[in-house]
Structure 1
Amino acid sequence: MNTRDAWPTPAITAWLEQILAERFGHAFTLQVAGNGFVRLGMADSSQAIEIASAPELFTRSDSSLPCTSWEASREGWQSALGKPLPAPGAARLPSPLIEPTATGFRMHYDILGLTYWMLARQEEVGRQDLDHHQRFPATSSHAFRHDYLERPVIDEWLQVLGQVIQQLWPALPIRQHHFSMKVSHDVDRPSRYGFCSAARIIRFMAGDVLKRRYFKNAWLAPWVRLGSRDTLHPADPDNTFDWLMDLSEQHGLSSAFYFICGRTDPQRDADYEPEHPAIRELMRRIHARGHEIGLHPSFDTYQKPAAIVAEAQRLRRICAEEGIEQAAWGGRMHYLRWENPTTPRAWEQAGMAYDSTLSYADRPGFRCGTCFEYPAFDPVKGQALKLRIRPLIAMEGTVMEPTYMGLGSGEAALNKFNELKDRCKAVKGCFTLLWHNSLFDTQAERELYRQLLQ
């Protein structure tokens, strides 16, 4: 599909109308105005907001767009973060950016095009500048290059659009959103020693003694291995599941645990099988406490829809055998491997309700420019999908580990997590946090996680 031929296409128009309806709580119509603008109106009103349209920019699959900023307060509008708004795609902007007309307002920046470009991840289609795991990295993105990756830029611009809507239709009640938080845990390793081979146990024990100086863990290893036949051993250092659920329940949250149900890469996938009695018991316990079970497709599935479908079916079958029922199923790709649009189409084929993969492994922030869940869109076929994208804002390893930001588990890491959390609060969105159950080796890591839930 060449979206430049007719922008926005009927499919894109309907998708954008759905996004606006979810954000503002009302049905708006979008029509091409014929003068380089798109008309945002309401069925029972002759008034409208004309929004500039720049399809030549926002149908591009590269990161070389220009970028400037706009000082909302100089024109009497409010910025959610109290800072100038990044304006991707624009080298300069006219003043005033927003001006009244005889029938409403005119906005000289393509908010709708930016929304499409960011949410549909048009930027990532067909990219070859990938990292060693074949992932599109943050450092290649337009947002990182222009220093707005840690800002919910779509939410900021839609908040401005909401102000214009309220000025034009003052009697129209705008939907009020509230800050929320979602925590999830990729179950790469449910047990430190319970499922691995004898050779791997020896390697783990050696690492605990020589590298990590965890002498107690090494001493426990044989007992944990022998005591994990029907349930996870309570002394297993990776068995943090009840502690995680306890914390979530204390703060009115529900944890989501995503299980690996395949083995497409022996070195990077899990060493457990989801049918194991101890894993079945864990799933029953998670479900009984009201928390969520989801899918964590194995390493080499991100380009293989049939494999994702098979692993989703395997998870559902096991849960059905254990009497576990959920209204919806979702999850996240292993190693955050994700290819647009192959991976989201695979999730749709698997009948999954949402995908929470979209954060970068090398930097935290707003890969999609938003902290609100939204309907997925395939920019290649030009079709909306029956799948929701639940953006991931931060993964613990991205912030803490030396491979990436390297902020450790102290005050620097806490400040970075809280900065991102506060930006979600500013736009009344959702702060989604990934923390693996197996990454609580120190008291400092536990305390950092505890503070983030407050």
Structure 2
Amino acid sequence: MHRRYLGAGPDMHAVFHMERPSPRARYLIGHLLGGMMGRELVEETDRQRFDAHQGPRLYYGEGGPADAFVLTPSPTLDTGLPPLDPQVDPLGAAFHLLTLAHETGLPEDEHGRPDHEQLQGWTLAAMERPVVDEWALALDDAWSRQDHRLPPRRRSYTQVVTLDLDNGFKYLGRPWWRTLGSAARDVLQGRLRELGERGAVLMGRAKDPYVIDELFEQVTSRYADRTVVNLLVAERGRHDHAVPLAFPPMAERARALSHRHAIGLHPSYASSEVSGATAREKSRLEAVIGSSVKVSRQHFLRFKVPGTFVELEGLGIREEHSLGFSRRTGFRCGTCTPFPWYDRKNERRTELECWPFQVMDSALAYGMRLGPVAAIEEALRLAGAVRQVGGTFVSVWHERFISGHGHEAGWEVVLPRVAEGAAP
């Protein structure tokens, strides 16, 4: 068998050959110039067949045919060393970012996440722009200029809006002792308006403020290409506060959401450290909605590399949405295009596809300390950067910000304005 089929797109036929075959180079060429460009890219392992091919050809090596597009091998790709200059070694730099190698050894914050403020040099600058997309487009342009037979790329800007239900309800579905304790605190702290609202919701005279499904549907159905709703279904813990699916209205809500949006799992705070936790939570969610769950985003964006991703792949998760910043906006992997995760430990391209996000409401509000107007401007700035390279703009929202309730008053306008401004 001489050919390996990589990338995507029907009726496209370009081939590549590697002088010294490498799983890392195969992965990068297939993604950067195949999948990212929306075209089929075929690896031809036999040199004679490669030389005889009549269509566009890419040669990865030192000495290739004069009429082939030649990529000089990366000096760092197979060493694991960070590239000194990404402009000289874009393949090595892209691999470094896509596999999160640049986060190895970084100090951790109080939640065990890499402290990205400690990044230095070109890796820090790479967080500001979709540099991997820029490098890939530059390579593709160079190949296209050399060989006009290269099929045109099929790549266009899209918007994906995602929602993490960290609570489900603000007042409903809580144990009676918690409800009583919260009411007592309202009285002691003089929060009479909240006390009255709590009572009205519990007596059925008012809607729970965190039920924002209708607004989310109205906005996203007009402006988004795709929506994902991630549900936190863990047992209650210090950082896990969601109303349980055992509460009938929450189960009904989950089922209703599954009819209109892709449903993802929001694995609990400790799931990356507690064996079997993610599997139990996934089974719990699937039992309620009656279908398999293929999407996931880690609660608090806590995960271990490669352990968490290997576990998710083994559980049948095919989309991972945790690659973004918790305290700022930007491009954590230097890209705004979904990409297959590469397991450096086992040197293999996995079945798990990573969907990086660029904007999260809590990062805008708490990490960057922006108000609603400035947050809209910042989010649309990121959307513009993604649009410029024809990428996928992914935003993350939570019910408390969409509701504009309590401390988040005023934020109810942010999602509608951002979704409209970022529409394709």
> TM-score normalised to the size of structure 2?
0.81
**Which residue in 1 is equivalent to 2:341?**
376
> Which residue in 2 is equivalent to 1:50?
71
**Secondary structure, aligned partner of 2:41:** coil
The superposition leaves residues 198-243 of structure 1 with CA deviations (integer Å, 9 ceiling, x where unpaired) of 45435655777898x975443121332354xxxxx86211111111
Which of 241, 253, 261 pairs up with 2:233? Answer: 261
Hey, what's the Cα distance between the residues in 2 that align with 1:208 and 1:166? 66
- Which amino acid in the other structure matches residue 22 of structure 1? G
Q: Which amino acid aligns with 1:23?
A: M
Q: Encode CA deviations 1:182-206: one digit per residue, 9 max, x unaligned.
A: 1111111111111223454356557
Shift of 1:171: 1.9
- TM-aligned CA deviation for residue 386 of structure 1: 1.2
Out of 390, 395, 400, the position equivalent to 2:365 is: 400
Change (3 A) 1:196 1:159: same
Indicate if the aligned counterparts of 2:169 and 2:209 stay in contact, CA closer than 8 A.
yes
8 Å CA contact retained: 1:57, 1:89: no
* Alignment correspondent of 2:40: 26
Matches within 5 A, 1:216-255: 216-227=193-204, 235-255=207-227
Counterpart in 1 of 2:90?
A: 111
Q: Does 1:195 align with 2:173?
A: yes
* Secondary structure of 1:150's aligned partner: coil
**Counterpart residue type for residue 131 of structure 1:** D
Give the aligned partner of residue 377 of structure 2: 415
Q: Counterpart amino acid of 1:349? A: G
Gaps of 5+ in 2: 1-18, 48-58
* Structure 1 residues 191 and 157: alpha-carbon distance in aligned structure 2, compared to 1, 3 A threshold: same
Q: Within 1, Cα distance between the matches of 2:372 and 2:313?
A: 37
Quote how far apart the aligned CAs of 1:158 are: 0.8
State the partner residue of 1:292. Answer: 262
From the superposition, tell whether residues 222 and 40 of structure 1 become closer, same or farther in structure 2 (CA, over 3 Å).
farther
Superposition deviation, residue 29 in structure 1: 4.5
Question: Taking structure 1 as reference, are residues 270 and 112 closer, same or farther at Cα in structure 2, changes over 3 Å only?
Answer: same
Q: Is the 8 A contact 1:138 1:363 kept in 2?
A: no
For residues 298 and 188 of structure 1, what CA distance do their matches in structure 2 show? Answer: 10
1:147 to 125, 132, 135: 125
RMSD: 3.2
Stretches of structure 1 that go unaligned for 5 or more consecutive residues are: 1-6, 66-87, 94-108, 228-232
Report the TM-score when normalising by structure 1.
0.76
Tell me the distance in 2 between the aligned counterparts of 1:49 and 1:390: 30
- For residue 148 of structure 1, report the CA deviation from its aligned partner: 3.3
Q: In the alignment, which residue of structure 2 is the partner of 1:10?
A: 22
Contact 1:393 1:433 in 2 (8 A): yes
How far apart are 1:302 and its partner, in Å? 1.5
SS in 2 for 1:384: strand
Among all aligned residue pairs of Structure 1 and Structure 2, give the percentage whose two residues are the same amino acid: 22
Counterpart residue number, 1:174: 152
Aligned partner of residue 72 in structure 2, secondary structure: strand
Tell me, yes or no, if structure 1 residue 434 matches structure 2 residue 396. yes
CA distance in 2, matches of 1:207, 1:431: 41
The structural deviation recorded for 1:280 is 1.6
In the alignment, which residue of structure 1 is the partner of 2:243? 272
Residues 155-174 of structure 1 show CA distances to partners (whole Å, capped at 9, x for unaligned) of 11111111111011112122
Q: Which whole-Å CA distance do the structure 1 matches of 2:162 and 2:172 have between them?
A: 22
Matched, 1:39 2:9: no
Deviates more, 1:301-310 or 1:185-194: 301-310
Q: From 402, 418, 423, give the equivalent of 1:452.
A: 418
Deviations 1:370-420 (A, max 9, x none): 11001011122222211100001111111112xx1101222x212211111
